Amino acid sequence: MSALAIAPSACIPRGSTAPSRRPAAAAAVRLSAFRPVRPARGPLRVRSQAAATATVDVKELNAKYGKGSAVEVKEGRGGLPTVFLKSAAGATAEIALFGGCVTSWKTAAGQEVLYIRPDAVFDKSKPISGGIPHCFPQFGPGAMQVHGFARNADWAVGGASGDAAKPAVTLVLKDSDYTRAMWPHAFKAEYTVVLDGEVLRTRLAVTNTDDKPLEFTASLHSYFGVADVETANVRGLQGLEYLDRVRDSTHPSVHQELRELATFRGPVDAVYKAAPAKVLLDNGSGDVSIASVNWPEVVVWTPWTAMEACYKEFVCVENALATSPAKLAPGAEWVATTAMAFSRDPLDEFCASNPEDLECLVYDD
C-alpha cells in the first residue's frame, strides 16, 4: 500500500495554470457542498506563554529507549529530539518530543499520509503546524492559550517497545509550574504511538493525580495531505448533528449532515457529535480509515483561502472530545484510542503504471 506524497514546501498558489490530472473516479465526485459565507478561522494566532522546554540528551535517550532500527531517538526536523519508528513492514513514523506531535507517517512505499504546513517552524517558538498535534486540556475557545498547552510543551519518553512488527513509544506529560499557571491541576498524560505494520495506532490516557476533580477537553488535530481539497471528501458523517463554527466558534449554529460525502467548497469548521467508530477520508489517492474508541466527536476543518498558498493540499479530520468535558475524580483515568490505515484506490494504482491509458487521461473542467 502507498499514500499520496505531498512535499510541505510544494504549495502552489491558487490560480496556477498547471493542469490537474485526476482519475475519473475522483473527478466524478461533484456533489453540492456546504458553503459557509464568512471567512474561516484565519491564520493561527497563538496566545501563549513561552513554551515549556527542557534540555534533552538524545544520545542518552537512545541508549535507554532505542531498540535497534525499530525505535530510535535522535534529532529530527529543526534539530528537535524525535522518536523514529520503523516496522518490519517498512512503514515509518516520527514523533517530536516537543508537543508530543506525530510529524510523519509514511507507508512501506515511503510516501507521506500526514501533512506539515509550509509555515511550520521547528524552533519551539510556536506549536508545530501539521502532523498530529495535541489539543489538551482545552479544545477551544477558552481562557488559556489556543488549544491548550500540550502541543507547546516538551513530553518525556516513558517507555518503548522494539517489537519489529509493532514498534511503539510512550510519551509522558505531567503538570509543572508552566501548566499550573494556566490550569491549576495535577495530572499525567501518557501518549502511546504504535506502528502496527502500516497501521498507525495511538492511545491517550489522562490520569487525575490531584486531590480534587478536574475537567478537560481534547482532540488529535490531525492534518492529512490531499490531492485537491475540492475533490477530497469524508464518509461516515451522514445523519449526524454538527456545530458550524465558521461564523462564530463561541456560538456555533447547529445543523444535520444530509450528505453521504462531506465535501469542501469553502471554509469548514464543523464539530460532528456522536461520531461513529470509523470515518473514511478520500484523499484523492485512496482512503484513510480513521477508527476510534472513546473519542465522541469528529472535527472537520479547512482554512480555505485564509491559507492561500497551500489550502488545497490538506484537510484536518480530528478525533475529538470537544463539546462535553471529561470529568475525572482524584485518581481516575480517561483513555481514548485511534487506528489509522491507508488503502490505495485501485484505479489510481493502475494509472500510476499506465498514465496514458484513456481511463487515466481525465482533466478538470
Q: Is 72 a catalytic residue?
A: no
Res 53: pLDDT: 80
Q: What b/e readout covers 322-336, taking b as 16+ CB neighbours within 10 angstroms?
A: beeebebeeeeebeb
Overall average pLDDT of the 307-325 stretch: 97
Residues 6+ apart with CB under 8 A from 143: none
What does the block give as the cell for 362?
A: 481525465
pTM: 0.84
pLDDT tens, position by position, 259-284: 999 999 999 999 999 999 999 999 99
Q: Is residue 245 in some structural domain?
A: yes
pLDDT tens, position by position, 26-77: 333 323 222 233 333 333 333 445 677 878 899 999 999 999 999 999 999 9
Q: Is residue 6 in some structural domain?
A: no
Tell me the C-alpha distance between 138 and 140, whole Å: 5
Beta bridge partners of 83: 73, 95
* Neighbouring C-beta atoms of residue 237, cutoff 10 Å: 22
Q: Is residue 2 in some structural domain?
A: no
Q: How far is CA 96 from the centre of its chain?
A: 13
CATH number for the domain that contains residue 274: 2.70.98.10
Q: Is residue 10 in some structural domain?
A: no
Q: Is residue 4 in some structural domain?
A: no
Tell me the C-alpha distance between 246 and 314, whole Å: 18
Q: Is residue 1 in some structural domain?
A: no
Q: Is 318 a catalytic residue?
A: yes
- Structurally, the chain folds into a number of domains equal to 1
Greatest alpha-carbon span in the chain? 68
Tell me the C-alpha distance between 347 and 345, whole Å: 5
Segment among 1-5, 112-116, 293-297 with least mean pLDDT: 1-5
Backbone φ, ψ for residue 122 (5° rounding): -125, 40
Q: Is residue 287 in some structural domain?
A: yes
- Of 221, 230, 257, 297, the catalytic one is 221
Q: Which domain holds residue 175?
A: 15-360
